[in-house]
């Protein structure tokens, strides 16, 4: 059988990434150039700065990904690229590069939903995993519980009503002086903190698997302000650990409920927050207790990367779902929307 090589490209936010994937699951290369140091100066991602940095990095990153794969550009079967959701200017850089390559090589270009890419990280980690399954997608912009019946067939079982989990991590990190990027810094600080030091609120909705993280975000702010006003000492590590514990508990509880309600027996984890150490640990414990098959991609496949985009593109390629050279950025793309 002729091998199928997909070049994946990801530029939706602050990582410029390219990957070469063989036959849907074999990652030959996965180059990720992070802009974190650049955005740290501003305390968060600045869209205009991100676009300009992507323009600078995109060709060297693609070049390195192809070289590291040991393959020649001419051997690539198709180019898969994130076309949304994400920052418009950032997305356009990857899309333009992907279309130019596809045009020059005479191969198809395939537009990929970034969230679908995150979900596909699970098929890279566990090549025998296939839908139907439930996936908890927790990133900077999403906190969704999704029932995946088959590729492209999604049912949202629960979603955040305000902040995404990653957004809450980032905002709380700023409140307690940890800075940017918040998620990994809270994870690290929490390791030496007491998770039972402060009781932060956990929001559940009756009859719904929705999430809400704005309450806990405000509670952390109020706690810090109160302590400061009273001139009392408080511990960054304890607050980080207590906050992380509360968020992980809500995510785990609703995920297990979602699997049970859907009548399925498989749970997957996706998105940047999926690399959180406590969330991974608690989900593993809960899934084992309930006899649920759990898929947790390694951290580098959880945060933004092009291998997951190449995997989603491969699955679309096999299904004949390719895009035209008029493919455009869709910053507000919703999971399940058709991409042309
Ligand atoms: O999926 P991702 O890399 O980009 C988006 O598509 O949004 O997710 C980024 C989010 C950020 O909010 C970041 O703080 C969070 O994932 N994150 C974490 C961890 N690593 C990244 N949150 C908690 N714990 C972590 N270890
Ligand atoms: Zn992402």
pLDDT tens, position by position, 272-308: 999 999 999 999 999 999 999 999 999 999 999 999 9
Type and span of the H or E element at 223: helix 214-229
Tell whether 135 and 62 lie within a shared domain. Answer: no
Share of the chain above pLDDT 70, in %: 100
Helix axes 236-262, 165-175, angle to 10 degrees: 170
Atom of ligand 1 nearest to the CA of 141: 7
The pLDDT, as a whole number, for residue 182 is 94
pLDDT, tens digit, 9 for 90 and up, residues 184-199: 999 999 999 999 999 9
Q: What is the chain's mean pLDDT, rounded?
A: 97
Q: Evaluate whether 116 touches 315 at the Cβ level (below 8 Å).
A: no
Domain that holds residue 55: 5-120+302-318
Query: In this structure, which residue's CA is closest to atom 16 in ligand 1?
Result: 272
User: What are the b/e assignments for 59-89, b being 16+ CB within 10 Å?
Assistant: eebbeebbeebebebeebbbbbbbbbbbbeb
Which pLDDT score, from 0 to 100, does residue 33 have?
98
Q: Are residues 182 and 89 in the same domain?
A: no
Q: Could you give the CA distance from residue 128 to residue 153 in angstroms, rounded to a whole number?
A: 19
- C-alpha distances (whole Å) from 305 to each of 10, 51, 53, 115, 295 are 6, 17, 16, 12, 18
Q: Residue 1 pLDDT > 80, yes or no?
A: no
Pairing of strands 26-34, 15-22: antiparallel
pLDDT of residue 338: 84
Tell me if 331 is assigned to some domain.
no
Q: Which residues line ligand 1 (CB under 6 A)?
A: 13, 139-141, 166, 169-170, 181-184, 187, 271-273, 275-276, 303-304
- Position 185 scores a pLDDT of 97
Q: Average pLDDT for residues 254-262, to the nearest whole number? A: 97
Give 28-54 pLDDT, tens digit per residue. 999 999 999 999 888 889 999 999 999
Domain CATH number, residue 39: 3.30.420.40
pLDDT band at 2 (very low <50, low <70, confident <90, very high): confident
CA of 96 to the centre of ligand 2 (A): 20
Label residue 336 by pLDDT band (50, 70, 90): confident
Residue 326 lies in a domain: no
Q: What residues are paired with 22 via a beta bridge? A: 5, 26
With the most atoms of ligand 1 within 8 angstroms of its CB, the residue from 136, 141, 273 to mutate is 273
From the alpha carbon of 182, which atom of ligand 1 is closest? 14
> Which ligand approaches the C-alpha of residue 274 most closely?
1
Residues 167 and 282 in one domain: yes
> What local confidence, expressed as pLDDT, does residue 44 receive?
87
In contact, 78 and 110? CB cutoff 8 Å: yes
Q: Whose CA is nearest to atom 13 of ligand 1?
A: 183
Claim to verify: residue 147 and residue 285 sit in the same structural domain: yes
Residue nearest to atom 18 of ligand 1 (CA): 183
The pTM of this model reads 0.95
Instruction: Give dist(CA 223, CA 106) in Å, integer.
Output: 59
Same-domain status, 19 and 111: yes
Task: Quote the ligand 1 centre to 297 CA distance (angstroms).
Answer: 14
Query: Is residue 323 in some structural domain?
Result: no
Contacts of 52 by beta carbon, 8 Å cutoff, 6+ apart: none
Count of domains for the chain: 2
pLDDT tens per residue across span 230-256: 999 999 999 999 999 999 999 999 999
Is residue 34 helix, strand or coil?
strand
Of the given ranges (22-31, 38-47, 103-112, 265-274), which has the lowest mean pLDDT?
Answer: 38-47
291 with 309, same domain?
no
pLDDT tens-place string over residues 197-211: 999 999 999 999 999
pLDDT for the residue 43: 85
69 and 150 together in one domain: no
Q: Give the mean pLDDT of 129-156.
A: 96
């Amino acid at each position: 059988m002729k091998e199928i090589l997909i070049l994946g490209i990801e530029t939706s936010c602050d990582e410029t990434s390219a990957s070469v994937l063989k036959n849907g699951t074999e990652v030959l290369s996965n180059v990720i150039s992070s802009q974190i140091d650049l955005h740290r100066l501003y305390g968060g991602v600045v869209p205009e700065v991100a676009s300009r940095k992507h323009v600078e990095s995109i060709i060297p990153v693609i070049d390195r990904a192809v070289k590291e794969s040991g393959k020649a550009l001419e051997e690539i079967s198709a180019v898969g690229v994130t076309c949304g959701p994400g920052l418009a200017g950032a997305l356009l850089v990857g899309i333009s590069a992907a279309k130019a390559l596809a045009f020059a090589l005479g191969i198809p270009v395939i537009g990929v939903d970034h969230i679908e890419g995150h979900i596909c990280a699970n098929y890279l980690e566990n090549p025998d995993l296939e839908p139907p399954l439930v996936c908890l997608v927790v990133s900077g912009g999403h906190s969704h519980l999704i029932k995946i019946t088959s590729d492209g067939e999604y049912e949202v079982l629960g979603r955040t009503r305000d902040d995404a989990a990653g957004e809450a991590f980032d905002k709380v990190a700023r409140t307690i002086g940890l800075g940017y990027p918040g998620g990994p810094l809270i994870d690290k600080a929490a390791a030496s903190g007491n998770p039972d030091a402060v009781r932060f609120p956990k929001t559940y909705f009756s009859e719904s698997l929705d999430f809400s993280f704005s309450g806990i975000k405000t509670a952390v702010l109020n706690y810090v302000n109160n302590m400061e006003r009273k001139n009392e000492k408080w511990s960054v590590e304890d607050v980080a650990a207590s906050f992380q514990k509360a968020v992980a508990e809500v995510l785990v509880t609703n995920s297990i409920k979602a699997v049970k309600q859907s009548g399925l027996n498989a749970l997957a984890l996706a998105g940047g927050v999926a690399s959180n150490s406590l969330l991974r640990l608690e989900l593993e414990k809960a899934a084992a207790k309930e006899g649920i098959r759990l898929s947790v991609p390694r951290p580098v496949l959880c945060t933004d990367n092009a291998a997951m985009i190449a995997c989603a593109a491969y699955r679309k390629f096999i299904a004949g779902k390719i895009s035209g050279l008029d493919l455009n950025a869709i910053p507000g793309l919703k999971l399940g929307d058709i991409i042309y």
